[in-house]
Amino acid sequence: MQSSSRRAPGFNPHRTFTLLALLVALLVTFGLLSRFRSWDPVFAWLIGINVATFLICGYDWAMAPAEAARVPPVLLLALTAIGGSIGAIVAFPLFRTSALKAPFRWAWALCVIFSVNLVALYYVAICPECR
C-alpha cells in the first residue's frame, strides 16, 4: 500500500511550483499589458506576482490535509521577496497556513520589507515618470 504523501519519480516540488508560479505571474502580467497598453510593465508584474503568490499559498493550504506535494517554504519566501508581498499578506491569514511558525515569520517579514523597498526604489529613483 502506497502512502498518499509519496511523490511520483522525478517530481521536484521546487522546480514544479516555481515554474507554475512564474507561468501564472507572466500570464497575468502579459494579459494586463495587452489589455492596458499604457500601464507600466513593473506595475503589471506586481499584480501578476501577487496573484501567483496568493494562488500558490492557497494551493499549499488546500493540499496540507491530503499530505500531497507541498509548496517549499523557500518558494513562498522568494515569491514574497520578488514582489508578491501583498498576495502573501492577504493569503497567509486567510488560509491560516502553518508556515507562519516563528523562524518562517521572521524570514517572511524580511522578505516583505525587501520587496516594499525594492518597489519604492523603482518608483522613486529608477522610474520617476511612473508616478
28-86 per-position pLDDT tens digit: 999 999 999 999 999 999 999 999 999 999 998 888 888 778 889 899 999 999 999 99
- Return the number of other C-beta atoms located less than 10 Å from residue 61's C-beta: 19
Q: Are 44 and 33 in contact (CB under 8 A)?
A: yes
- pLDDT over threshold 80, residue 3: no
Cα separation, 63 vs 70, whole angstroms: 7
Tell me the pLDDT tens digit for each residue of 98-111. Answer: 556 778 888 989 99
User: How open is the CA angle 32-97-14, to the nearest 5 degrees?
Assistant: 65
Domain-located, residue 104: yes
| Structural domain harbouring 53 | 13-130
Domain-located, residue 8: no
Domain-located, residue 1: no
- What is the C-alpha radius of gyration for the chain, rounded to an integer number of angstroms? 16
- Give the pTM: 0.85
How many independent structural domains does the chain possess? 1
Termini Cα distance of the chain: 59
Domain-located, residue 7: no
Cα separation, 17 vs 68, whole angstroms: 13
pLDDT of residue 1: 41
